[in-house]
């Protein structure tokens, strides 16, 4: 069965992610669009740099066209935020985007975005799932002839970059003298982030700026391990910043002037403060339930509301569309801002970091030190635990009756917005989330010191499986 999770349908290429299933899923989307009488000028069809992505996209375009729906087929791989921008610009019905974001290279995915440029909300993905399952159950033949008159090739790059120039202060960056190393991680941001900065006159060195469906043998994720080469380049040539985007460029990774990896939570906090204090952007701040409470501390001091959402950027996207927030972010390195897109934009995030450093005239490391000096230390970490089905079921049962104390930490509050979050203090909490599609448990923790953070994570592992704690640590 084809199922949509928080970011659409994903599967292993050649196993469940096949041409037949792509045609079925595309027909399901077409049936949904026709039955829901969606208005718009057609559907954007896009793809990332993964194996066969352009072929899958071509099949989806043919299915749409055969159903009388115009398909705007991108001429090359494009960043996910560009897809969102193009939906809005064209007033399209939505988009089908073939991407598995930062998942391992053997995966591909199909993501549907609605006419407002946002990832489809659960009520819509459920309708699409029903249409897909109906196609499967009816065993419909999907051998179609190509209606070429309803397929139009498009290249949205220049229009999107023009839009970014309205959101980012190019002159500030141009006059800064910053030297920046850029890692495209073999993904869709090549000729976007690098082009923007080079066009602004920045001295830059770019690595991994070509297509590799294997992503160098790693998942194209902007984590500390995957950005080792970027750190080495930045250190060897003493760059001021290192900027990276993931496979589909909706997430970011940052290396500071001391050539250290900066956690996404820290960057989100810095940009929140910057957009409110320096740029005077209207609105509150938003974060997912798994994201740092440093955002809350900033919101309190600035006397603006903070909105907590379930995990999944579509919920933050709704707040962007309602013009309620200056910035919304997730600990998994996704963010957007007021007046921009209801979708994660890693290119924008990187450019805003460069602008922030340029405008303040301070090194990124100095901005981080000042942030913690003003608001206190918030250290966070996520651990993924591979669980047996029995352990998963046991943990689910235990979380139905959350503990009031865990290894010396007294629970002050329990938050069930998404998973079970045990809150011990303003900057001390532990969140358990179970995957709905695989035997995996996600453990998030935040504390005010490295010692307390380790203590919390160990306590969380022990709570998940007291006997198998060593096995769980080995998989984290």
The percent of residues in the chain predicted with pLDDT above 90, rounded, is 84
Radius of gyration of the chain measured on its C-alpha atoms = 22
Residue 189's nearest CA partner among 416, 344, 366 is 344
pLDDT bracket for residue 471 (50, 70, 90): very low
> What tens digit of pLDDT does each residue of 168-188 get?
999 999 999 999 999 999 999
Residue 94: helix, strand or coil by DSSP? strand
Cα–Cα distance, 5 to 333 (Å, whole number) = 18
What confidence tier does 476 reach under pLDDT thresholds 50, 70, 90?
very low
Q: Parallel, antiparallel, or unpaired: how do β-strands 334-337 and 379-386 relate?
A: unpaired
Average pLDDT over residues 185-202: 96
**CATH class of domain segment(s) 157-260:** alpha beta
Residues 121-143 have a mean pLDDT of 87
Quickly list DSSP for 358-404: HHHT--HHHHHHHHHHHH---EEEEEEEE--HHHHHHHHHHHTS--S
Give backbone dihedrals phi and psi of 457, rounded to 5 degrees, phi first.
-65, -40
pLDDT of residue 475: 41
Contacts of 274 (CB under 8 A, 6+ apart): 352, 356, 359, 360
| pLDDT-wise least confident of 134-138, 326-330, 468-472 | 468-472
Q: Has residue 470 got a pLDDT over 60? A: no
What is the reported pLDDT for 139?
A: 80
Residue ranges matching CATH 3.30.310.50 in the chain: 379-475
* Residue labelled with tokens 């970091």: 353
The CATH code that applies to domain 263-344 is 3.40.120.10
The architecture CATH gives domain 379-475: 2-Layer Sandwich (3.30)
* From-to residues of CATH 3.40.120.10 in the chain: 9-155, 157-260, 263-344
Q: Tell me the HSE value of 17 on the side-chain side, using a 13 A CA sphere.
A: 24
**Token reading at 105:** 């290279």
Give buried/exposed letters for 221-233 (b at 16+ CB in 10 A, else e).
bbbeebbebbbeb
Beta partners for residue 112, in sequence order: 96
Is 9-155 assigned to CATH 3.40.120.10?
yes
- pLDDT exceeds cutoff 60 at 213: yes
- Residue-level pLDDT at 474: 41
Q: What's the pLDDT score for residue 315?
A: 94
Model pTM score: 0.93
Question: Angle at which helices 80-90 and 157-167 pack, to 10 degrees?
Answer: 90
Per-residue pLDDT band for 1 (boundaries 50, 70, 90) equals confident
Q: Of 9, 146, 152, which is closest to residue 74 (Cα–Cα)?
A: 152
Residue percentage of the chain with pLDDT more than 70: 96
């Amino acid at each position: 069965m084809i199922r949509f999770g928080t970011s659409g349908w994903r599967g292993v290429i050649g196993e469940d992610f096949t041409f037949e299933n792509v045609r079925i899923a595309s027909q399901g989307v077409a049936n949904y669009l026709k039955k829901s009488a969606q208005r718009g000028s057609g559907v954007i069809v896009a793809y990332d740099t993964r194996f066969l992505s352009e072929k899958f996209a071509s099949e989806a375009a043919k299915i749409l066209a055969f159903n009388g729906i115009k398909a705007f087929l991108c001429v090359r791989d494009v960043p996910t935020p560009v897809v969102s921008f193009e939906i809005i610009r064209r007033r399209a019905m939505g988009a089908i985007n073939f991407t598995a974001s930062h998942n391992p290279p053997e995966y591909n995915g199909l993501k549907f975005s609605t006419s407002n440029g946002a990832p489809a909300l659960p009520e819509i993905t459920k309708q699409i799932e029903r249409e897909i399952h109906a196609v499967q159950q009816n065993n419909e033949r999907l051998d179609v002839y190509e209606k070429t008159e309803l397929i139009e090739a498009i290249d949205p790059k220049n229009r999107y970059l023009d839009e970014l120039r309205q959101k980012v202060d190019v002159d500030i960056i141009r006059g800064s003298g910053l030297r920046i190393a850029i890692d495209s991680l073999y993904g869709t941001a090549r000729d976007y982030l690098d082009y923007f900065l080079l066009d602004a006159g920045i001295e830059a060195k770019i690595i991994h700026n070509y297509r590799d469906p294997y992503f160098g043998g790693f998942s194209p994720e902007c984590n500390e391990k995957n950005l080792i080469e970027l750190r080495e380049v930045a250190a060897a040539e003493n760059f001021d910043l290192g900027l990276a985007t993931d496979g589909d460029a909706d997430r970011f990774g940052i290396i500071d002037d001391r050539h250290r990896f900066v956690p996404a939570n820290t960057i989100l906090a810095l940009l929140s403060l910057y957009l409110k204090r320096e740029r005077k952007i209207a609105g509150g701040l938003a974060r997912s339930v798994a994201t740092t409470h440093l955002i809350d501390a900033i919101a309190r001091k600035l006397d603006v509301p903070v909105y907590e959402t379930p995990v999944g950027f579509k919920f933050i996207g709704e707040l962007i569309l309602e013009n309620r927030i200056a910035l919304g972010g997730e600990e998994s390195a996704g963010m957007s801002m007021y007046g921009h897109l209801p979708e994660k934009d890693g290119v924008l995030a990187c450019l805003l970091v460069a602008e922030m450093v340029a405008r303040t005239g301070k090194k990124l490391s100095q901005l981080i030190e000042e942030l913690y000096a003003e608001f206190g230390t918030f250290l966070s970490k996520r651990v993924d635990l591979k669980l047996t089905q029995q352990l998963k079921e046991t943990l689910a049962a235990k979380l139905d009756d959350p503990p009031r104390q865990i290894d010396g930490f007294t629970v002050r509050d329990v938050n069930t917005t998404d998973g079970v979050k045990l809150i011990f203090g303003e900057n001390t909490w532990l969140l358990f989330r179970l995957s709905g599609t695989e035997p995996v448990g996600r453990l998030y923790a935040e504390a005010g010191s490295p010692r307390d953070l380790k203590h919390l994570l160990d306590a969380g592992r022990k709570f998940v499986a007291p006997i198998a704690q060593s096995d769980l640590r080995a998989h984290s």
